[in-house]
Every structure is written in structure tokens, then in C-alpha cells.
Amino acid sequence: MPVLLVTNDDGVHAAGLAALAGAVADLGEVYVLAPEREQSACSHALTLHRPLRVERVRERWWAVNGTPSDCVNLAVLGFLPEPPVLVLSGVNHGANLGDDVTYSGTVSAAMEGTLLGVPSVAISLVDGGDFAEAARVARLVAARVLVEGLPPKTLLNVNVPPGQPRGVRVTRLGHRVYAEKIVELQDPRGRACYWIGGGEPRWEALEGSDMAAVREGYVSVTPLHLDLTNHRALVELGSWSGALTAQLRARDRRARP
Ligand code: MN
């Protein structure tokens, strides 16, 4: 039986985690390593400055006092009896769409798996949806990935809409419109403090986007690439190296007596 790792960012006791682990139980030997408490919006943080503790919850389930990426790192690099062939992260309580994936602990766990060479899938449920439905979708996608694999450095970001999905669309990331301003308040001692990330997110109307798919009642599957290099800019900005080198040397010459 292949080893599968299931993790999340909502914590080891989240309903979405249990739904996911249960749904893929027949696909392999399922191990769960998840943060002991909620770590939403923790992004791709790794805990490097204190030891990690792993607490057994039950057979093949552990709680980690760290982030989702910590859980994947531990599991892939030696905690499990053998490395997983698939990392599944979710089912997140709430959507992870468009530009928001850069903040997401759920997606970051799948990024960590991908960086460590393990095919990885993040699954999120749009508010108001049903975990059983999302877990059923996750199982279908996981089974397919186990057979077909994924392109290099590529993970899948899956979002499941509320209600009975009308189908599945392979999508691109949407883009947020940052219309809201920061909210400035005064604390009881008269000092200014600030809230960010307030208000309902607004999205660019972008055809083929993940946002458009879930809004229309479809499951969205977005392939995300972890080569962050902008290869076109590499060519466009190529001349910068010569100019910057010249400036760097000119400064060196001036600095020397
Ligand atoms: Mn979460």
C-alpha cells in the first residue's frame, strides 16, 4: 500500500481533515500529521528556531506544534516509516482562490510537498459547502494523480463550491481587486492601531479563472507552478546586469584611495 500524507492548516481536530483522511483511506496507508491548532494564513512558514514536538492523537494521527509546512517537512524527511507518494492538504474551511493562495497555509503545505519532490494537492471548500462532497472530489483527484502523476514542480489547488458541483474545470488563478483601505482605530490608551484584510474580497472578472468556476458552481482545479522565475523578464531585463555591473565597479573605484 502506498503511503499518503494528509495535513491541513485548520488544526488536527478540524472536520475537513477527518473528512479528507476518511475519503482517501482506500487509496493507501493514510498518515495524518497536522498542526495542533489553527494556522490559517500562516503562509509557507517553517519553524527553525525551536524544536518541534509530535503528539500522538491515535493510530497514524499526530499533532505537531508547528505549521503545515513543518508537518510536511517532518513527514517527507523521515518521521514516517517511508516517505509519502502523495501529499493532500485540506479540506480547508473556506476557499483558497486567486492571489490569496500566497497567504494560504493549506496551499503552502502542498508547496512544501512539491518542493520535496512529492506530488501534492491542496483542497479547499468554499464557505457554505459540504465536507463530504469536497472529500469525494479530493478522492477522485488523488486517485488520478496517483495514476498520472503531475508535471515537475507543479501542484494542484482544488476549490469545491457549495452545493452539488456542476462539473470540474481546470482553471488559472484569478486576481484580487484591493479596493478596501486599511481601518485605523484608537486603542483604549489612545494609540493608533490598524486592521488589514477587512471587507469582502473583490475579484477581476477573468475568463477561465478559479473564481469564475466556483462562482458558476464548478469544482476548480488550478495547476500551480513553483518555478517563480519570470523567464520572459529574464530576457527583457538581461541588459540590466551589464549596466548594474558598470555602476557597481564605478562605485568601487571611487571608494578606493
Ligand atoms: Mn485554514
Residue 256 CA to ligand 1 centre (angstroms)? 54
CB 150 within 8 A of CB 156: yes
At 257 the pLDDT is: 63
Residue 66 CA to ligand 1 centre (angstroms)? 14
Residue 175 CA to ligand 1 centre (angstroms)? 20
Residue 15 CA to ligand 1 centre (angstroms)? 11
CA 26 – CA 90 distance, rounded (Å): 17
pLDDT in tens, 233-251: 999 998 999 999 999 999 7
Residue 169: count of CB within 10 angstroms of its CB: 18
Residue with cell 483558497: 96
At 254 the pLDDT is: 72
At 136 the pLDDT is: 97
Residue 104 CA to ligand 1 centre (angstroms)? 7
Residue with cell 458558476: 216
pLDDT in tens, 132-147: 999 999 999 999 999 9
Percentages helix, strand, coil for the chain (3-state, rounded to 5) are 35, 25, 40
Q: pTM score, two decimals?
A: 0.92
Instruction: Assess whether pLDDT exceeds 90 at residue 182.
Output: no
Residue 110 CA to ligand 1 centre (angstroms)? 13
CA 69 – CA 33 distance, rounded (Å): 10
Residue with cell 484608537: 186
At 44 the pLDDT is: 79
Residue 237 CA to ligand 1 centre (angstroms)? 38
